[in-house]
Amino acid sequence: MALLVSMVLEGAGETDPLSIKDYESLGGFAALRAAFALEPQAIIREITGAKLLGRGGAAYPAGKKWEQLLNIEGSPKYIVCNADEGEPGTFKDRRIMEAVPLRLLEGMIIAGLTFNSPRGFIYVRGEYRRLQRRLAEAIQILRDAGYLGERILGSPFSFEITTISGAGAYVCGENSALLNSAEGLAGRPRIKPPHLAEVGLFLKPTLVNNVESFANIPLVLTMGGEKFLQAGHPQSGGSKLVCLSGHVRAPGVYEVPLGGATLRDIIFSPQLGDGIRDGRELGFFHLGGQSGPLGGPADLDVPYAYYPLRERGLAVGSGAVVALDASVSPVEYLQKVAEFFSRESCGKCVPCREGNKILAKYLQKLQIPGAWTPEDERRLSDLMVAMRRASFCGLGQSATTALASAQKLFPGRFAGASAPAASEA
Amino acid sequence: MPELSESQARAIMADFHDDPQRLIAILLDIQEASGANRVEKKSALLVSETLGVPLTRIYEILTFYSMFSLAPRGKYLVEACESAPCHFDGGETTLSHLADILGVSPGETTADGLFTLEKSACFGACGHGGAFKIGDEAYRGGSRNQIASVIRSYRENSPRLREGLAWLY
């Protein structure tokens, strides 16, 4: 299997992102045309067979999500694309929207057709203002060509897509917070159930998928679910866009077949990261965003796919791989992570709002020689449990994931580096 | 201090059909058109009245989302990313170069009212450590001279001066 593939990003950098002709020359819109002849169940069967897992971070099976929405009564149903890409170290949705926006839009139109939806929305983070304009341009081009708007391609199906801007809030990457924000409210998460499939945007049944998930839909239909699955890992089909950053020689977005590359390939292969800069050694890497786990050199040979990583306590998450050289102190790194969550907590619930602040203080204390006590150790551990279990949404629940993994990875550094040994305590 | 006229603000709201569900987009555009990168109280009052949204909800939005400011800021917002991937890959150097070139600390505005320096969370330019953003445009970190050229190109309103300097999006 090749280390790199060109599926979601086929044509990126080589074709005009806003040219329908260029996109069609690569088979663009063949999936949409085919979808018109398929029953919704048949479309979803392909997605389920493809084992396409949600690419935003939660890895929820897309087929299952679509199936659930199909089985829900109620109309209209809305299609929402989560383009709030805010996980530090993640910049692959940006690449899709810059280089192959028509593939994303085709995926959304197919979703619209499947659920006979009148409207789709792309919620783009406020920081990507230039991309919002580009998407709006792409939408207009598709409207002019009859791929969007009234009676698409002469069929009875009509569908519109609108972009919505965020305004700077990491928590809006959480789907229910995103919908609140899309309605013009503060982006705080909603209590679930009811699930968004039942009560979503404007209280209507709603499908929310990530940019990369939508961009995979045309591929699933043109290749067929089975071939899509074969192009990836037996438990998760297709490719994954990896966002490589940190101290590698060649950072960037790379598309790897799921299960076809190891973390070692991603960080060290000359085709990808090309190893650590300045002749230094790899210290550790951070997977899937700030809410993901840390791994070390001993984890390098794990295949990059959802299940093999999960078995090892690691995760694909958003696709972020931040590789840090051995000069970076993991405690200092984790303090930066805690500061991030503390800044981005929406303030709705106490475990997250207060917990992240206290966590940052503990991490600071860990860096003061001789300051750490067994009492701190116990309290930190209680705090982590409380945050994980009592936080309202994924932000607080996953804010301690990186720290918990680091405690295992560097037992001496976190289990009270400067604390007295257990025998003295 | 430049000010947004009432008719300008009304035109922005009309662009969104005075729709309260587009409140965030309206406030973003009002802020952008304000010339001082902030939403003034009189604009907030006007939006509240026109859209029929309570003033408290306007301020909830303005204080919840990090891109809004109540206090006036420079024409250009200069943001240095301080999230972990950038921080450990040149982010501190970029920030200190920016502070040095602009002669201000984070949170402050240059005397000519052109630039406000801010520390920011990740804005998706992580493939190039130590990235910074000016307005809607993101740049990769570089030497002090390179960063100074980018700043100068804005100060002199001459995009030509930043040609060839790594522009990310």
List the single residue in A with minimal CA-CA distance to B58.
A185
- Spatial distance between the Cα atoms of A216 and A228, rounded to a whole number of angstroms: 10
Say whether pLDDT at A423 is over 70: no
Residues of chain A above pLDDT 90, percent:
96
Helix, coil or strand: residue A248: strand
What integer is the mean pLDDT of B10-36? Answer: 97
CB contact under 8 A, A89 and B27: no
pLDDT of residue A425: 33
Average pLDDT over residues B56-73: 97
Q: pLDDT at position B2, please?
A: 62
Q: What is the CA angle A70-A154-A11, rounded to 5? A: 75
May I ask the CATH architecture of the domain A330-414? Up-down Bundle (1.20)
CB-based burial label for A61 (10 Å; 0-12, 13-18, 19+): middle
Placement of tokens 């783009």 in the chain: A124
Reported as a pLDDT band with limits 50, 70 and 90, residue A417 is very low
Per-residue pLDDT of A15-54, as tens digits, reads 999 999 999 999 999 999 999 999 999 999 999 999 999 9
Q: Calculate how close chain A gets to B22, using CA atoms only, in Å.
A: 6
pLDDT band at A415 (very low <50, low <70, confident <90, very high): low
Residue B50's pLDDT is what? 98
Contacts of A94 in chain B (CB under 8 A): 124, 169
pLDDT in tens, A292-333: 999 999 999 999 999 999 999 999 999 999 999 999 999 999
Instruction: Name every residue in B having a CB less than 8 A away from some CB of A.
Output: 20-25, 27-28, 57, 60-61, 64-68, 82-89, 121-129, 133, 136-137, 169
Whole-angstrom Cα distance, residue A185 to residue A166?
11
Task: ipTM value, please give it.
Answer: 0.96
pLDDT in tens, A173-187: 999 999 999 999 999
| Helix/strand number for chain B, H first, E second | 7, 4
| Chain B residues close to A245, C-beta within 8 Å | 85, 89, 126-127, 129
d(CA B121, CA A336) in angstroms, rounded, equals 11
Indicate whether B162 pLDDT > 90.
Answer: no
Q: Which of A130, A165, A188 sits opposite B28 (nearest CB)?
A: A165
Query: What is the pLDDT at residue B3?
Result: 79
CATH number corresponding to A20-230: 3.40.50.11540
Distance CA A112, CA A310 (A): 32
Question: What's the pLDDT at A412?
Answer: 82
How many other CB atoms are there within 10 angstroms of residue B66's CB atom?
A: 18
Write the residue in A91, A130, A184 that is nearest to B126 by C-beta: A91
Q: Is the confidence at residue B1, as pLDDT, over 90? A: no
More confident residue, B161 or A269: A269
Q: What spatial distance separates the first Cα and last Cα of chain A, rounded to whole Å?
A: 54
Residue A110 has pLDDT above 90, yes or no: yes
Tell me the H-state helices in A259-400.
263-268, 306-311, 330-344, 350-366, 374-390, 394-398
Q: Which residues of A touch B28 (CB under 8 A)?
A: 126, 165, 167
Q: Kind and range of the H or E element at A189?
A: none
Whether residue A251 is preceded by a cis peptide bond, meaning omega within 30 degrees of 0, is no
Q: A-chain residues within 8 Å CB-CB of B13?
A: none
DSSP A93-160: HHHHHHH-HHHHHHHHHHHHHHTT-SEEEEEE-GGGHHHHHHHHHHHHHHHHTTSSBSSGGGSS--BE
Across chain A, what does the average pLDDT equal?
Answer: 95
What whole-number percentage of chain B has pLDDT above 90?
Answer: 88
Identify the closest residue of chain B to A186 by CA–CA distance: B61
How far is it, in rounded angstroms, from Cα A99 to Cα A93? 10
CB contact under 8 A, B133 and A346: no
A349 and A394 Cβ atoms separated by less than 8 Å: no
pLDDT value, residue B160: 85
Q: Which pLDDT score is estimated for A138?
A: 98
Residue ranges of the domains in chain A?
20-230, 239-325, 330-414
- Name the fold adopted by A239-325: Ubiquitin-like (UB roll) (3.10.20)
* Chain B partners within 8 Å of A253 (Cβ): 127
pLDDT at A420 over 50: no
pLDDT digits (tens, 9 = 90+) for A245-282: 999 999 999 999 999 999 999 999 999 999 999 999 99
CA of residue B117 relative to chain centroid, distance: 9
The token pair that represents A364 in the structure block: 């600071």
Q: What angle do CA A141, A146, A152 make, to 5 degrees?
A: 135
Please answer whether residues A200 and A160 qualify as being in contact, where contact means their C-beta atoms are separated by less than 8 angstroms. Answer: no
Q: Which residue of B has its CA nearest to A127?
A: B123
Please give the mean pLDDT across all residues of chain B: 94
Q: Give the whole-angstrom CA distance, residue A270 versus residue A264.
A: 11
Q: Which of B83, B125, B126 sits opposite A340 (nearest CB)?
A: B83
Burial class (CB in 10 A: 0-12, 13-18, 19+), A150: exposed
What is the model's pLDDT at position B129? 81
Q: What would the pLDDT profile of A67-92 be if each residue is shown by its tens digit?
A: 999 999 999 999 999 999 999 999 99
